[in-house]
Amino acid sequence: MLRNPKRPSRKQTLASERKSASAAGRAGPAAGKKPIDLYYWPTPNGWKITIMLEECGLPYALIPINISRGDQFEPAFLAISPNNRMPAIVDHDGPGGRRISIFESGAILQYLGRKTGKFYPKDERSRVEVDQWLFWQMANLGPKAGEANHFRHYAPEKLPYAIARFGNEMNRIYGVMNRRLADREFIAGRYSIADIACIGWASRAERHGHDLSGFPHVRRWLETVLARPAVKRGLSVKVEAAFHVDMKDPKVRAVLFDQRAR
């Protein structure tokens, strides 16, 4: 567990534990169990899990992983997330009532969907629909948006080939999503973890420079999901330190962009 006594403020009690009329508020104190630990930094991959936890009303405790200073390489975190990426969770009430740790946001969404029976249908055909689009997000929308963002905003040289390559990919990907959403409200039929996986990146698309004007069904879907109270709560889980990260700082850039096998 990444509870470093030198950093007592790292673990924050979260939105879901607030007393409120929300499902989260109802689930918290009544459950009488340790909240799920969420290793988190406020990015589109992190928001997948805050949204899902808020949607399911599961109590959770936030453990910030400051990826700009290298928390993701701490041995205790690597024991949970060997790919040095957040998000990751520890559920103290896992299968058999025992602790379980999970990394990779798609695997976490599936686990939480199975655990709660929410947003992840049991029926095999419906589940396959959700899985296809969840994996589509994990292999396409997420990584390609990340690379597009990197070459557009963070690369020291503006490489036209890389910017065009990933810009085109993003255009293709939003085209696929737009076609998919043309005749259904949500990506896999009913609102599911496939939608939840896509919200963070899609909500930042225009800010990242991807024009969604040619994708009216994506825009309509985005408006629908962003109006959900749990999505609003999930997207607004903040970490104070993240406001102070300077992406031009050579130390931050070395941590994030000069990674090699260790």
Ligand X SMILES: N[C@@H](CCC(=O)N[C@@H](CS)C(=O)NCC(=O)O)C(=O)O
**Contact positions vs ligand X (CB under 6 A):** 43, 45, 67, 72, 84-87, 104-105, 256
| Closest separation in Å from C-beta 161 to ligand X | 23
Sign of the torsion angle spanned by Cα atoms 119, 124, 126, 130:
positive
Q: Which is closer to ligand X, CB of 2 or CB of 86?
A: 86
Pairing of strands 36-40, 60-64: parallel
| Closest separation in Å from C-beta 28 to ligand X | 25
| Closest separation in Å from C-beta 73 to ligand X | 8
- Beta-carbon contacts of residue 149 (< 8 Å; ≥ 6 apart): 208
For the record, the structure tokens of 105 come out as 């946001």
Q: Which is closer to ligand X, CB of 12 or CB of 81?
A: 81
| Closest separation in Å from C-beta 26 to ligand X | 28
Q: Which is closer to ligand X, CB of 85 or CB of 144?
A: 85
Residue pair 36/89 in contact (Cβ under 8 Å)? The answer is yes
Q: Which is closer to ligand X, CB of 28 or CB of 44?
A: 44
Query: What's the Cα-to-Cα distance from 35 to each of 18, 206, 212, rounded to whole Å?
Result: 12, 35, 38
